[in-house]
Chain A
């Protein structure tokens, strides 16, 4: 169990540029989630995948945001034409089916995005 890894840890970009983040979940986890967290707030759900299928997207996810999980392994989150309001920590989490038990999330360390 190597944990959930995210890359990069920090990203500084200029307004209008495109950025892409990567998340590698724990290998046997079939569900993967993206959250956004601003300072002093709780994580806000963006989207989640079950294997390679994107099953739910939040209304927070404008058409400038796109997420993929090819082959049900790693995932990428791309933000096009970044805006200053996109500045936040982007968290990835994964989980696996535990049967009837609640599924706990395993989080990565996040990617801190700063849009100048």
Chain B
């Protein structure tokens, strides 16, 4: 069974600085999808960034980028120029491709990020 592990329950960063959130996962599949979701205090979860495992290039979305290390099964999120609005829970997530048995997304336990003014 696939598992997702986030080893940092809580982190803090000064506004305008850079922070990296860690995630490791376990799977026997060769093709899969990885995501980072953000859940602000209002609790509606939104997608931050996603990565297809078959792509070697790391995904970027404005201030957010990932470091995808397939052999190490590692998928870290880097937030540059942190803003107060980045304060939230961040969840790393894993999804099998459709031919791998379905669309179930598995989430890690989350990392709570505080951005300090």
Q: Closest CB-CB distance, A82 to chain B, in whole Å?
A: 21
Q: Closest CB-CB distance, B83 to chain A, in whole Å?
A: 22
Contact: A110 with B47, CB < 8 Å?
no
Q: What bracket does the count of chain A residues touching chain B fall in? A: 20 to 34
A62 CB-CB contact with B under 8 Å? no
Nearest residue (CB) in A for B102 is A56
- Number of A-B residue pairs at CB separation under 8 A: 60
Given that A101-B52, A104-B35 are known contacts, is A48 also in contact with B102, CB under 8 Å in the complex?
A: yes
Most chain B Cβ neighbours within 10 Å, of A89, A103, A104, A110: A104
B107 CB-CB contact with A under 8 Å? yes
Contact: B50 with A42, CB < 8 Å?
no
Contact: A110 with B43, CB < 8 Å?
yes
Q: Closest CB-CB distance, A31 to chain B, in whole Å?
A: 6
Q: Closest CB-CB distance, B55 to chain A, in whole Å?
A: 10
Q: Give the residues in chain B near A33, CB-CB below 8 Å.
A: 103-105
Q: Give the residues in chain B near A42, CB-CB below 8 Å.
A: 4, 91, 93, 107-110
Instruction: State in angstroms the CA–CA spacing of A95 and B106 once bound together.
Output: 15
Q: Give the residues in chain B near A55, CB-CB below 8 Å.
A: 102
Most chain A Cβ neighbours within 10 Å, of B52, B105, B108, B110: B105
Instruction: State in angstroms the CA–CA spacing of A59 and B103 once bound together.
Output: 16
A74 CB-CB contact with B under 8 Å? no
From 30 to 74 in chain A, residues with beta carbon under 8 angstroms from any chain B beta carbon are 31, 33, 35, 40-45, 48, 50, 55-56
Contact: A102 with B52, CB < 8 Å?
yes
Nearest residue (CB) in B for A3 is B44
Interface positions of B (Cβ within 8 A of A): 4, 33, 35, 37, 42-47, 50-52, 91, 93, 95, 102-110
Interface positions of A (Cβ within 8 A of B): 31, 33, 35, 40-45, 48, 50, 55-56, 89, 91, 93, 95, 101-105, 107-110
